[in-house]
C-alpha cells in the first residue's frame, strides 16, 4: 500500500480542509508514518477517518482529533508536555515533534511496552518517556507542565491535573459521559483559567483514581 500517498491525502482532506491550520502540526503529521504505530492486522486502516483498535480495549484516535488536540495546545517547541494515555505511542510522537519533552503515562502495561518500542523505532525515545501508571492523577514527579493532553474521556476535569499545569499553560481533555464528551481546552494565564469547547467527541473511558470506576 502507498502509505506516503495516503498520509498526504489525510493531511489535505481530513486536517487542512477541516480547519487545522498550524503548519507545524500539519508538517508533523505529514511526516510521521502512522502505520508504524498500529498493530500489523490494522495497518491497512492507518489513514481512515475513524478511530482504530490497537488492542486491550483501546483505540488510536482518528487523525483529525489528534491534530485538533495538538493544535489546541499551541506548542512552540520548548515545552514539557504531560500525556495521559500513551496507547500505541502515536500521539506522543506528534507531541514530541512539536515540543522538547513528553512524559506519557499509560494504564495498560502491555500498551506501555508497545508505545516504548514504537517510539524507539521512530527515533523519538530521547524525547518521550513512557511510564506505566495511573495517568488520571498526572505525574507529580515531573510537574509542572506547560501543556497536558488527555486521550481518554473523564467524568470531570481532575483537580490533580490542574494542579500540575503551569501558568501560562494549556490542558486539553474530553469530559462528559462514558459515551459522549466535549473536548475542553483550559487555558491558564495570570492565575485565571478559561475553558472553551473545541468539539464534541467520543473517547474510551479514563481509567484510574480520577476516572471511571
pTM, 2 dp: 0.96
C-alpha cell at 2: 502507498
Q: Using 70 as the pLDDT threshold, list the residues of the chain that sit under it.
A: none
Our answer to whether residue 61 is catalytic in this structure is: yes
For the stretch 154-166, pLDDT in tens is 999 999 999 999 9
For the stretch 142-185, pLDDT in tens is 999 999 999 999 999 999 999 999 999 999 999 999 999 999 99
Catalytic residue among 46, 61, 136, 149: 61
Q: Which residues pair with 169 in a beta bridge?
A: 188
Question: What architecture does CATH give domain 64-201?
Answer: 3-Layer(aba) Sandwich (3.40)
Res 1: pLDDT = 74
Res 208: pLDDT = 96
Map grid coordinates 462514558 to a residue: 178
Amino acid at each position: 500500500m502507498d502509505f506516503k500517498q495516503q498520509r498526504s491525502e489525510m493531511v489535505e482532506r481530513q486536517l487542512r480542509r477541516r480547519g487545522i491550520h498550524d503548519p507545524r502540526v500539519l508538517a508533523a503529521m505529514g511526516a510521521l508514518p502512522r502505520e508504524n504505530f498500529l498493530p500489523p492486522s490494522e495497518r491497512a486502516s492507518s489513514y481512515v477517518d475513524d478511530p482504530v483498535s490497537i488492542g486491550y480495549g483501546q483505540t488510536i484516535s482518528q487523525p483529525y482529533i489528534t491534530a485538533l488536540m495538538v493544535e489546541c495546545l499551541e506548542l512552540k517547541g520548548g515545552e514539557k508536555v504531560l500525556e495521559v494515555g500513551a496507547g500505541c505511542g502515536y500521539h506522543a510522537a506528534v507531541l514530541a515533534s512539536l515540543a522538547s519533552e513528553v512524559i506519557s503515562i499509560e494504564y495498560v502495561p502491555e500498551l506501555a511496552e508497545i508505545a516504548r518500542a514504537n517510539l524507539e523505532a521512530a527515533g523519538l525515545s530521547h524525547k518521550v518517556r513512557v511510564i506505566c501508571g495511573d495517568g488520571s492523577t498526572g505525574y507529580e514527579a515531573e510537574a509542572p507542565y506547560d501543556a497536558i493532553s488527555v486521550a481518554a474521556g473523564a467524568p470531570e476535569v481532575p483537580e490533580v491535573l490542574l494542579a500540575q499545569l503551569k501558568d501560562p499553560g494549556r490542558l486539553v481533555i474530553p469530559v462528559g459521559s462514558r459515551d459522549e464528551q466535549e473536548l475542553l481546552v483550559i487555558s491558564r494565564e495570570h492565575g485565571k483559567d478559561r475553558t472553551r469547547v473545541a468539539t464534541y467527541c467520543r473517547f474510551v473511558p479514563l481509567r484510574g483514581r480520577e476516572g471511571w470506576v
